[in-house]
Structure 1
Amino acid sequence: MTVNSQSPVFVSSAAAQEVFRWKDAIAALQAAYGQHLPARATPPRTVASLEKTWLRTLPAIPAGGRYFGAKLMGSNMGDAPPGIEYVIVLFDRTTNRIAAFIDANLVTGFRTAATSAAALDRIAPQKPARLAVIGSGLEASMHIRAFASVRELTEIVVFSPTPERREAFAAAATRDLGVPARGVGSAQEAVEGADIVLTAARSRDEKPILFGDWLKSGATVVSIGSTIPEQREIDISVVERSDLIICDTLEEVLEETGDMLAAHTAGIEFRHKAFSLSDLMSGACSEQLKQAKAPMFKSVGGGLQDIVVAELILTKALEAGLATPLPIDFETKR
């Protein structure tokens, strides 16, 4: 089949990794969240489920972008081999055609860390910082690289339950970022004296892994590991300590994450100090930000992040000749 100029392309994770740049993604996300968007442009994620099979969809239409679309992920947790695949489908506003399919496994890590860094850049003091990391997986690895692009890091201290993994994480951080890094034997030891604290690994038994009295005065917290009601990551004392809580998706964070549900059950009031990422980027909570001494960013992820970063990656992959043309042509209904 002959591929016409409007046939869609495929962008692999390898291509995405080659063209992705932290500073570009962070700037694009700050701009996207700084624009007013009606709720219908970024609706909540939806999950279809039947027995052990589930499908999650995250759609979004960014303001001013060429592309719009959705990320899809699904899995049968029954008899099928374990694993989850992610795909972002982008539609082109200028042609009304399907433009691209993007392997979204790495993109998901990129967009989550870039969004956290976009928020951190606005809420954390503009000075060199010691970073504590709880967790040593892909998300934690992405985040330290994103954070290093917006703040000078003087030291990275990491805790995760497996000594070999935290030592490998620290070695990679020093090698790739040129920042002194070390692993330690407990979360509390990692957090002690830290200016920025990243929690990127919810506990295995769904008990909190970060407590408010561990945090030094003025420390900024970034929590990304508890995204559904059944998950826990930060103790209610962290919620109580925080005087400004920025949420990438306000209602989902406040009403659908185990950490915030636990704080609500304990009688802790937090709605008056919780604002959306759009509020932060647009300046709607600038007065609260000026007063904040213990800010926190809490994330569940959102379709806007996926589509903004996917557009950036698609544009650069096309320019670099790294997008694979697909020998398919969708029929257009007119």
Structure 2
Amino acid sequence: MRLLDNDDVRSVLDMRGTITALRRAYDDLRDGEATYVPRIDMFAPTGRPDDYYQWGSMAGVSMSYGIAAVRLKSDVVSWQGGTHEKYCVRPGRYCGLILCFRLTDGAPLAILQDGYLQHMRVGGAAGIGTDALARGDAATLGVLGSGGMAWTFVEAIAQVRELTAVRVHSPTPEHRTEFAGRIRSELGIDAVAVEHAEQAVRGMAIVATATDSMSPTFDPAWLRPGAHVVCVTRRELGDALLDHADVVTQLGIHTVPHGTDVPMMEWKAGAIAAYVAGRPEDRRRIPAGRAPERGAWPTLLDLETGRVPGRRSDDDVTVFVTTGTQGLQFASVAGHVLQRAEKAELGRRLPAEWFLQDIRD
């Protein structure tokens, strides 16, 4: 077994490699050589009145990399001030792990920290969706958010379109100013920080919203004809944007569809299928998924196989929802990382025997 931390992963994973791995995964999915288990969550009270324990899992297989991967996350969550907050053990610390297994003999191969890879796989998927739906001449980008996920969105979109200008808005002036400076210095693209969300959106060919907001992040009336919108979570979507758009496509199935008849299953925060423990007064603390979060639209695979049309004119407003197929993404990008980590002999080695036993389950 190989144990890889975020620094190990960062040393062998760039955005070009991420997008390549994801494209291979979606080729596998199209050809019947991949599959995935949608995300399912579990909630339990912590014993405190203002938060909840949340467990999440998703899994996938990609034949191109010969592995199965399971991503697990353990968080204490709260919903306050219009944002979704979380931590593990203490604020500023998090626990997310990717477990990888070899398909040919079932052997446990690796445990990876998921933080850096998580940001990269979401950004890479946003880039693929933007490539599929944005106008070919789209060269300007408005960004809402200035965190790690927003950075990978900019990186990925810059891989699929020749950007000439970026505008950045986030609530904290220092954060958005630093973010714009990083775009200029690392990507060589003219970027400015702006005070209001409208300034980041109005007139831009591509709009990326990458925030932890629990509600829509901008007014779709600000969008110019032909704009493309890409988001991190369904929480950032609103009915007005979905009504305004000519084309809405999602990456894939992101959870058990809302309303499926499964005993004890509920659709809570983010409209993710979940099993919930707790008394009625506890459960009321968990927000229910809004209608846009529960929506189902044609998938990237539908688009790429021609089952549904994509952009039909230069004036179409398109939306790409970067949720779904998470387990497949972890399998493919983790597989890509493992190939390079093995060549570079990265990480700590743990005896495989520690993870095997002589008792049949």
TM-score (norm 1): 0.85
Distance 1:69 1:188 in 2: 40
Maintained 8 Å contact 1:247/1:253: no
Maintained 8 Å contact 2:146/2:175: yes
Distance 1:264 1:177 in 2: 33
Once the two structures are superposed, residues 83-142 of structure 1 have per-residue CA deviations (whole angstroms, 9 ceiling, x without a partner) of: 321110000112320000011111100100011111111111222510000011110011
Maintained 8 Å contact 1:202/1:209: no
- Equivalent residue of 2:236, what SS? coil
Maintained 8 Å contact 2:108/2:352: no
- Equivalent residue of 2:175, what SS? helix
Asked if 1:331 is matched to 2:341, the reply is no
Distance 1:105 1:307 in 2: 15
- Equivalent residue of 2:127, what SS? helix
| Structure 2 partner of 1:134 | 144
Distance 1:194 1:325 in 2: 48
| Structure 1 partner of 2:85 | none
Asked if 1:283 is matched to 2:306, the reply is yes
Distance 1:276 1:251 in 2: 10
Asked if 1:11 is matched to 2:4, the reply is yes
- Once the two structures are TM-superposed, the CA of residue 62 in structure 1 deviates from its matched residue by 2.1
Q: Which of the residues 227, 234, 247 maps onto 1:219?
A: 227
Q: Which structure 1 segments of 5+ residues have no match?
A: 1-7, 227-231
- Once the two structures are TM-superposed, the CA of residue 300 in structure 1 deviates from its matched residue by 2.8
Distance 2:76 2:289 in 1: 29
Matches within 5 A, 1:144-163: 144-163=154-173
Once the two structures are superposed, residues 302-333 of structure 1 have per-residue CA deviations (whole angstroms, 9 ceiling, x without a partner) of: 11111111111111111122232114522255
Select between 178-187 and 47-56 the one with higher mean Cα deviation: 47-56
- Once the two structures are TM-superposed, the CA of residue 250 in structure 1 deviates from its matched residue by 3.8
Distance 1:175 1:126 in 2: 25
Q: Tell me which amino acid in the other structure corresponds to 1:325.
A: R
Once the two structures are superposed, residues 245-284 of structure 1 have per-residue CA deviations (whole angstroms, 9 ceiling, x without a partner) of: 111234649856479944599xxxx86xx31122223333
Q: Which structure 2 segments of 5+ residues have no match?
A: 46-51, 79-87, 259-266, 272-287
Identity %: 27
Q: Tell me which amino acid in the other structure corresponds to 2:249.
A: I
| Structure 2 partner of 1:229 | none
Q: Tell me which amino acid in the other structure corresponds to 1:162.
A: T
Q: Which of the residues 200, 217, 237 maps onto 2:210?
A: 200
Q: Tell me which amino acid in the other structure corresponds to 1:81.
A: R
Distance 1:20 1:54 in 2: 28
Q: Which of the residues 279, 298, 308 maps onto 2:321?
A: 298
Q: Tell me which amino acid in the other structure corresponds to 2:243.
A: E
Asked if 1:244 is matched to 2:244, the reply is no
| Structure 2 partner of 1:5 | none
- Once the two structures are TM-superposed, the CA of residue 179 in structure 1 deviates from its matched residue by 0.3
- Report which of the two has the higher share of helix: 1
Paired positions, count: 313
Give every structure 1 segment of 4 or more consecutive aligned residues whose post-TM-superposition deviation is greater than 6 Å.
none
- Equivalent residue of 2:331, what SS? helix
Judging changes above 3 Å, is the alpha-carbon distance between structure 1 residues 264 and 324 closer, same or farther for their aligned structure 2 residues?
Answer: closer
Distance 1:254 1:182 in 2: 40
Distance 2:256 2:161 in 1: 26
Distance 1:295 1:252 in 2: 23
